[in-house]
Amino acid sequence: MVGSVMVSKDRIRRLRRVLIGWFAANRRDMPWRRTRDPYAVWVSEVMLQQTQVETVIPYYERFMRRFPTVGALAAARLDTVLKCWEGLGYYGRARNLHRAAGMVVAQLGGEIPGDREALLRLPGIGAYTAGAIASIAFDRPEPIVDGNVMRVLCRLFRVHGDPRSTQTGRRLWEMAAVLVPRRCPGIFNQALMELGALVCRPGEPDCGACPARRLCEGRRHGEQSRLPIRRVRKPIPRYTVVVGIVEKDGKVLIDRRPEGGLLGGLWEFPGGKRRPRESLKAALTRELREEMDIEVHVGPRLAVVDHAYSHFAIRLHAYHCKWLSGQPTGQSCTAWKWVRPKDLNRYAFPTANKKVITALMDPT
């Protein structure tokens, strides 16, 4: 039995056979699929978390040129790693990857482990990433369940529970563990993911092109478009943020965010959230006084940037400011610098701040 569906060994073998055969003929050419180097597989899987393949490819190729081995990554400064990651988002992935590389070099002799439990002890590696590295790079019969695999399994085996719930999520992992073969487990796992990405897509799947359509319980009951069950998403909160391009002697002030939080380790223009019924300029004056211990004259607005994160959205207002007094102390940052505008591109900034820099450097 797989989930609530009785599945014979013969049916499991058929499913494995048709998926592996389909993958051989339809797999997309991606740079990380041209190697079984565990480090390359690891980097690609981390980058692919919550990020589309087309976006990842140029970042992956640039990252691998800059840090071709786990030793090179471990030896690099975090600032350098974040600059290479700049624009890819979810920067905790980069920080954990860098930290884990240091652990591999310092504690494991530079050898990435193939054992799932050992992989899980490294920062940033969860059940999915451990299963992907173990199966793809080391041929270990470990299951994987990502968003694509969740969708495929819910349709194949007619799972009606919310796949994001603990109970249903556990069932899906159990299904994946039953299905993964001892021979070519990495190929099978990639086939499941590829099927979800290309054929068994969200919304209306392309059942006519699916190699497993005759084995699909969801399709047999006409429920393939209604599965998996989707939870109702709550509206995300929206915040108004103000930042200052604080100018002094031809330089502007930037500060670095603490490593443990959102956008940790990145540089930004100082500022913060506007309070209710507070004017934008008053909010910026207050934030710079509270956070940086400086007094400024807030001048004209430079740019307005709308940006969405995973759980909230912001409208960022950037203002030219003239420094009046005070020595920056950085109450909520780890470092601060006065930097010439032409040198800002040396530092890793969040996407919203990058748009402000573009406006600052645009003479029009």
Identify whether 45 is a catalytic site residue.
Answer: yes
| Cα gap 321→299, rounded to integer Å | 5
Q: Which helix (H) or strand (E) holds 21?
A: helix 9-26
Residue with tokens 């003479």: 363
Strand, coil or helix: what is 47?
Answer: helix
Which residues lie closer than 8 Å to 86 by C-beta, 6 or more apart?
Answer: 266, 348, 349, 354
**Residue 211, phi then psi, degrees to nearest 5:** -70, -15
Other CB atoms within 10 A of residue 180 CB: 21
Annotated catalytic residue: which of 45, 142, 194, 217?
45
Q: Give, in order, the Cα–Cα distances in Å from 123 to each of 99, 112, 261.
A: 7, 13, 15
Instruction: Please state the length of the chain.
Output: 364
| Cα gap 68→74, rounded to integer Å | 11
Other CB atoms within 10 A of residue 339 CB: 15
Of 15, 10, 22, the residue nearest 191 (C-alpha): 22
Both tokens of 57, joined, read 């490819």
Of 308, 310, 316, the residue nearest 355 (C-alpha): 316
> Taking a C-beta distance cutoff of 8 angstroms, is the pair 151, 218 a contact?
no
DSSP letter assigned to residue 213: G
The residue type of 327 is Q
The residue type of 74 is A
| Cα gap 359→302, rounded to integer Å | 7
Reported for 107-114, long-range contacts at CB under 8 A and 24+ positions apart, including other chains, are 110/70, 110/71, 112/38, 112/39, 112/42, 112/70, 112/137, 114/38, 114/138, 114/140
Quick one: CA dihedral 133, 135, 136, 137, positive or negative?
positive
Q: Which residues are catalytic?
A: 45
